[in-house]
Structure 1
Amino acid sequence: MASLLVPALYSLPEQYDGWQLSWKFLVFRPAILRVQACLVLALLVYVALSLYGRAINVRKADNFYSAVLPLLSRQFSKPTTGLISDGPSDFFVFSTGRRAISSLHTVLALRPRHDLLQMIWQYLWSAYDLRYEPFDALTFDFTLDSDAAAATPDFIWAVVRKSELALIRDQRWDLTFTRTADHAGLDSNLAVMSEFADVTETLAKLAPSGSSIPLFTLISSALPYLRVFSITDQPEERPSASALSNKLKRVTLTFNLPDGVNCILPLLEGTFALVDLLAAGKVNFRPETRAKIKKVRDGVEKAVREEEEKDKREEVLEDRRAAKRKAEEARIAKLSPAEQKKALERERKRALKKSQGKLVRKA
């Protein structure tokens, strides 16, 4: 086995007709290092592509930051901490200091252009799975402050690009509460995800830009870059029972990063105005709609707590079984070899009898 792992000794050929460099007892013959030269060349190409891909991502992030900074500066007293990089493809901007908004997290999740292998994998997987679409993701995540959250009714509502519908329910737990429908006020490439029709009709009447432009018109204006526009009082991932009381109300926009950010700025600016309307209590639903939403929330909270309690009970039972097995193993270890053999045989027969009983009950 060891001989297979040890490489064979290199045998220097006696006849060499290629070009060589020699100095005293040192001789360099490039022709016998072709494989190594190819490997070094491949490594250099990979490093060059990695640096080039990283530079593209940094340039995209810088261009976006320069375009959006004036709007953030107008809206926040502390518009940004600067463009923060978390690796070659992820960038963040944090903004705070505005009425009705606790914070705004802006996230750029760009494609891994610095990693050739990942780019190849994305290309091949997109050819295999037609639902998979790699893109440069831009997300604005508005978190409402406590006063605005108190003035905003509980509801979940989203406008989603139809190409996202196949995957969105797997990615976001909160949107599993909703039903999907078309709406005449939206572009045909967009669909509404809403808990109740009253929620959609109430939001369709809003004009958050301070003018006569309806919310739905603003949303449609961000095509073809808009992927998801959502308002939610539930987390994107299924929460634990302890986290149910710490609900945050959020407005989230996700885009394909456009080459020119100006085309999405009207919707972004309208979102600030929408938050002000929510904080002012301008969004109200019929009493029966509020009652239905509350019933859904109560049911979800009850289900989450029951599931967590069931998991805890099963965990306690498993701990008890493990402790019992460990005590039994310790007891058997103290027996003589003959007694150990008898004990193991009894355990085998007991397990066999138990498995046969399960088969009979199933039949």
Structure 2
Amino acid sequence: MAQKYLGKILGDEKKKAESSIASDDDFADFATPSPATPPPAPESAAASSLTSISASPTPTGPPIKFDGPWYALWERHSLGEFQFEGYILLLLLGVLGWHLWGTRRNRAIAKKFFGNINPVLCQEFAYVGFDPYSQANTGQVVTADYALKENHPLEFITYASGRQNVAFMHTTIKLQRRSNPITWFGEHLFAFFFESIPTPTDNATITISPFDGQDSGKSGLSSKYDSFVWALVNKNHMKRWREDRYDLSLTRTSDWDGLPNWLAVMSESKEIGDTVLTKELKEAVVDCQDILEYLIVSDQPIDKPTTLAETAPKKRVILQVNIPSDTAPATLPKLLQAFIRLVDHLAAVAHFRPEVLRKVKAVREDEAKKLQKQVDEEKAEERQLKRDEDKKIEREKKLHGMSAKEQKKFLEKEREKETHKAMKRQTKK
């Protein structure tokens, strides 16, 4: 019995060994090539390798060959790689160069203009420029570096004082935006296509503030004169200045004997025009068509007043001229001298009859009434808004303390009142 069992065990072990040998043979079939399939030829192997290489991504551009030190950037890169950056750099350099040119050009125009009027200023005023020690300019030449102040590349100012009847004279030179090429070209382009936009120009505004009697204790003569508005305006720009300046809107326009056709007189009364216009001024403006924009004697603000305090008279005499960028106008010194001496003429003769002053005063009072009416309407509107707001708050408080039924009755009564008011309005219409 034991031998039979042992024989059975040995037989099972023999079967297992044979099955394992068969499985190894199966794996061997896959591992070793079949004798029926010949090995690949060398040509086909090369072709397959080329096919695999062509299928893989290939680097573009020339191969990088660099054997130098790490800091030798010129050997690793070329200028062709920075073409776009080069264009940007050239553009920035061009804008910067234009800015420097425009700034210097504006500075040169301002200095040339000051050099043109400087002899007249030194002749008419004791002090010219911004002198911290208030030294008079007697016997010395006042230069632009001393007397001309640059606020920014578009604006230069100068100052003069020390003269009878004149508290001070302030000159503002405003120039084109030459330092900004994009804005400069844009302004000229828009002015070319649109008539409503004025062409950019270089101009100077000279403003004289008279003493107007404040120096009466210093001398025997009085510098006080009556309040009025009078102007000489170039007809090419008359419409623009009448719309832009509130004081000129109070005047009437007329031609004047002895003046060229391109000039118009704007005055509140003919008697005022006959008194203000001097022979020296007539002769000075004859050849100034290219530079003169306006000469104004005024006591009213430039912008339309919004309060009664702004309507208080503030006398000043203003001259605005264009500045040619190529040559200095030869007629400007004569015009400036007549403009300055006009203040002496006003202090001497600008004292009008009561009838003339009543007309001038009536215009001022009408404007003051219009302004007061506007102010009263604005105040009444504010009060009405405040009352409406108070009523709304009180109504919300009432509704908040009512029940739903009471609220419904309250809202129905409101609707009935509104319907009744609407019917009354329709009946009145």
Fold shared per TM-score above 0.5: yes
Q: 1: distance between equivalents of 2:63 and 2:93?
A: 25
Q: 2:152 aligns with which of 68, 82, 87?
A: 87
Q: Is the 8 A contact 2:99 2:179 kept in 1?
A: yes
1:145 aligns with 2:211: yes
Q: When the two structures are superposed, what TM-score results if normalisation uses the length of structure 1?
A: 0.78
Q: 1:198 touches 1:286 (CA, 8 Å); kept in 2?
A: no
Is contact 2:209–2:315 with CA below 8 Å preserved after alignment? Answer: yes
The match for 1:187 is 260
| 1:237-263, Cα deviation, whole Å (9 max, x unpaired) | 122212333x21111110101331542
| Map 1:316-327 → 2, pairs under 5 A | 316-318=383-385
Q: Describe the shift of the 1:260–1:362 C-alpha distance in structure 2 as closer, same or farther (beyond 3 A).
A: farther
CA shift in 2, pair 1:331/1:45, >3 Å = farther
Residues of 1 paired with 2:315 and 2:65: CA distance? Answer: 73
CA spacing shift, 1:276–1:120, aligned 2, 3 Å = same
Look up the equivalent residue of 1:305 and give its one-letter code. Q
Out of 125, 130, 134, which is 2:190 matched to? 125
The one-letter amino acid paired with 1:251 is: V
What letter is aligned with 1:138? A
* Residue of 173, 177, 181 corresponding to 1:108: 173
- The one-letter code of the counterpart of 1:272 is I
Q: In the superposition, relative to structure 1, how do residues 319 and 147 fare at CA in structure 2: closer, same or farther (>3 Å)?
A: same
Q: Is the 8 A contact 1:68 1:261 kept in 2?
A: no
1:317-350 Cα distance to aligned partner (Å, 9 max, x none):
445656777x599979x99xx9xxx9xx99xx99
Instruction: Confirm or deny that 1:230 pairs with 2:306.
Output: no
Higher relative contact order by CA 8 Å / sep ≥ 6: 1 or 2? 1
Question: Secondary structure at 1:218's aligned position in 2?
Answer: helix
Structure 1 residue 360: Cα displacement: 7.4
Distance of 1:277 and 1:128 partners within structure 2: 44
Change (3 A) 1:329 1:193: same
Which deviates further from its counterpart, 101-110 or 177-186? 177-186
Return 5+ residue gaps in structure 1 as ranges: 1-12, 208-213
Aligned AA (1:15):
T
State how far apart, in whole Å, the 2-side matches of 1:315 and 1:66 are: 56
CA contact (8 A) 2:296 2:319 kept: yes
Pick closer, same or farther for the CA change 1:306–1:18 going to 2, 3 Å: farther
Residue 14 of structure 1: CA displacement?
A: 4.2
Which residue of 40, 64, 72 corresponds with 2:121? 72
**How big is the alpha-carbon RMSD for the aligned residues of Structure 1 and Structure 2?**
3.9
Q: Could you list the runs of 5+ residues in structure 2 that have no partner in the other structure?
A: 1-57, 131-146, 215-221
Please state whether the residue corresponding to 2:213 is helix, strand or coil: helix
Partner of residue 298, structure 1: 365
Letter in structure 1 aligned against 2:341 = A
Runs of 4+ in 1 over 6 A off after TM superposition: 18-22, 322-325, 328-332, 359-363
Shift of 1:23: 5.7
Structure 1 residues 18 and 304 mapped into 2: Cα distance closer, same or farther (>3 Å)? farther
1:19–1:31 CA contact under 8 A, matched in 2:
no
Aligned residues with identical type, % of pairs = 26
Q: What TM-score do you get using the length of structure 2 for normalisation? A: 0.67
Secondary structure at the counterpart of residue 185 of structure 1: coil
1:263 aligned residue: 331
What is the 5 A alignment of 1:1-363?
A: 14-16=59-61, 24=70, 27-81=76-130, 82-131=147-196, 132-147=198-213, 151-204=224-277, 206-207=278-279, 214-239=280-305, 240-245=307-312, 247-258=313-324, 259-280=327-348, 282-318=349-385
For residue 134 of structure 1, report the CA deviation from its aligned partner: 1.4
